[in-house]
Structure 1
Amino acid sequence: MPHPTPPPTSLSLALPAVREIAFGQPLHWLALAWRDIARCGWLSFAHGAVLALFGAALVLIARDRFWLLAGAFSGFLVIAPVLATSLYAMSRALERNEPVGVALLVRTWTSWQHARRSEAGGYWCLVRFGILLALAGTGWVLTSAALITLLAPQPIQGPMDFIRYVVLAPHSYLFELWLAMGGVMAAPMFASSVVAMPLLLDRRANMMQAVLTSWQAVLVNPAPMALWAALIMGFTLLGLGSLLIGLVFVIPMLGHASWHAYRDLVDASSLPERLAPGETA
């Protein structure tokens, strides 16, 4: 007797297909991102402005605790894929020739309220994944702060103290240890999130499917994904190093580019499309 076909909402770990891409493809994603920004205008830059203001608030709160500030900014990179959710939605709308406006952003950030149950593929998958990344970011902030506080030869109160007593300290490997620990924590989170949030936004996938698909994309394309990670880190450092002003441009660029990364890397046609509240199949 044949087994019945499970309903679309049943929990399944069937993964969508992952494509192999060329090494330089991440540069094409950045070009597509600027095309999207040109069409979205101020809505894209508003995302960058909000996050730049958030960064400025961090500086004000932790200006006398640079050990905490360093961890907070690096932890911010971990949860950035969640904060860019509405940028993914904007690129998807442009792709579908749908209107892009404030109403789209409101729907993107409130849709989870229409699916409060933890059913497979529901909007709560986005919320749970966001919480996971936030916990990872918080864990790194605490680890970074504890490491620098315990091992730095002098109290770290400002950027020059960090450079003098951590980066340039003679006969000390604290900076190398700090970077190594950050890499150990950041690498798996990057691999888990590189296409996970766009996939969760676009298709009725559960969190495990999204994370495993993201890992598969990295394993199939290690060199292009390494380039993509380096570009993300490099542009983010430029944004931070420009007194946060550069984040106004960097955040929307990387957010829109991440949507195009997902579209290039993942063939999600095997998964049902996620419909917005009020839409019918």
Structure 2
Amino acid sequence: MRTTEPAIEQSRRFGVRPIPVLRPLGWLARGWQDLVHAPIPGLVHGVAMALFGALLAVLAQGHVWLLAGAFSGFLLVAPLLATGLYAVSRALHTKRQPATLGTALRAWKPDDGRLIVFGILLAFAGTGWVMTSTSFILAFAPAAVHTPQDFLRHVVLADEGKLFEAWLLLGGVLAAPVFASSVVAIPMLLDRHVGVLVAVLTSWRVVMQHPLPLALWAALIMALTLLGMATLLLGLIVVVPWLAHSSWHAYRDLVDTSQWHEMP
């Protein structure tokens, strides 16, 4: 592999397969099968995510405006936290190693700086959104927001203006480039020895060539995550690994890696 080759040229070594609009439903079906076949790694990740969400809720007690930003920022970094489950899905389908919790933990190689770099970038994005969300609500809410009831009354159901709609629009504008940069990038970093920029450029090519299927995929991720949160976070125990396994299948379905092996 020529490491001096520009990232954009390396990215073009990866083809983007054509898919129908409703293919994301197939990713969910295959992701569910992986969770059923290897439940322990997924449920451990799901419990950890639910506990982390509970910790956020405790730390943000009395400051629901901060909690709203923290939970939505959590969505930005969750794909990285699921890296181990991509390894489990890969093990299930390649049969090269057992699909165990150990397989998931070994995916976090301490000498692989690429995931660290990507994690730092996502952490900056998540922190930036939390600060932006907090500032927006504090600046424009017609009254103090301290409890979930206050958020519902003064933001979601605000009589003056369209505060909640504007907050959602702002979040969507900021989240869209993060989603486009990471939708297949993290599984790709696990599966192939490529640079972060190569993986991000490939992810953007996937989104640009398949805007409707990827928009549906983003909507499904958001809907299932909100459902998991609405069940007092208990639903995240299943939703998190389900989406993680499904994301691996999205990557394998969308990105053609066959030409990468032919690089001199």
TM-score by length of 1: 0.88
Q: Output one character per residue of 1:98-139: Cα deviation in whole Å (capped at 9) or x when no partner.
A: 212232123112x1x23xxxxxxxx21221111111110110
- Among 130, 133, 151, which residue is 1:141 paired with? 130
Partner of 2:233: 244
Deviation at 1:177, TM superposition (A): 1.6
Q: Are positions 1:38 and 2:27 aligned together?
A: no
Partner of 1:12: 6
Q: What does residue range 57-136 of structure 1 map to in structure 2 within 5 Å?
A: 57-97=55-95, 98-109=97-108, 111=109, 113-114=110-111, 123-136=112-125
Using the TM superposition, name which of 9-18 and 214-223 deviates more.
Answer: 9-18
Counterpart CA distance in 1 for 2:246 and 2:101 is 20
Counterpart CA distance in 2 for 1:102 and 1:83 is 14
Unaligned runs of 5+ in 2: none
Using the TM superposition, name which of 226-235 and 264-273 deviates more.
Answer: 264-273
Deviation at 1:150, TM superposition (A): 1.5
Counterpart CA distance in 2 for 1:88 and 1:206 is 18
Higher Cα Rg, which structure: 1
Deviation at 1:45, TM superposition (A): 1.0
Deviation at 1:10, TM superposition (A): 3.8
Deviation at 1:87, TM superposition (A): 0.7
Q: Partner amino acid for 1:79?
A: V
Matched position secondary structure for 2:145? coil
Q: Partner amino acid for 1:101?
A: T
Counterpart CA distance in 1 for 2:113 and 2:119 is 10
Deviation at 1:173, TM superposition (A): 2.2
Identity of aligned residues (%): 53
Counterpart CA distance in 2 for 1:30 and 1:106 is 23
Counterpart CA distance in 2 for 1:21 and 1:80 is 25
Counterpart CA distance in 2 for 1:53 and 1:96 is 32
Q: What is the count of residue pairs matched by the alignment?
A: 257
Matched position secondary structure for 2:253? helix
Counterpart CA distance in 2 for 1:272 and 1:12 is 17
Q: Partner amino acid for 1:49?
A: V
Counterpart CA distance in 1 for 2:35 and 2:223 is 20
Partner of 1:120: none
Partner of 2:50: 52
Deviation at 1:9, TM superposition (A): 3.9
Deviation at 1:12, TM superposition (A): 3.4
TM-score by length of 2: 0.94
Q: Partner amino acid for 1:189?
A: V
Deviation at 1:272, TM superposition (A): 5.1
Counterpart CA distance in 1 for 2:161 and 2:94 is 54
* Structure with greater proportional helix content: 2
Say what the alpha-carbon RMSD is for the aligned residues: 1.4
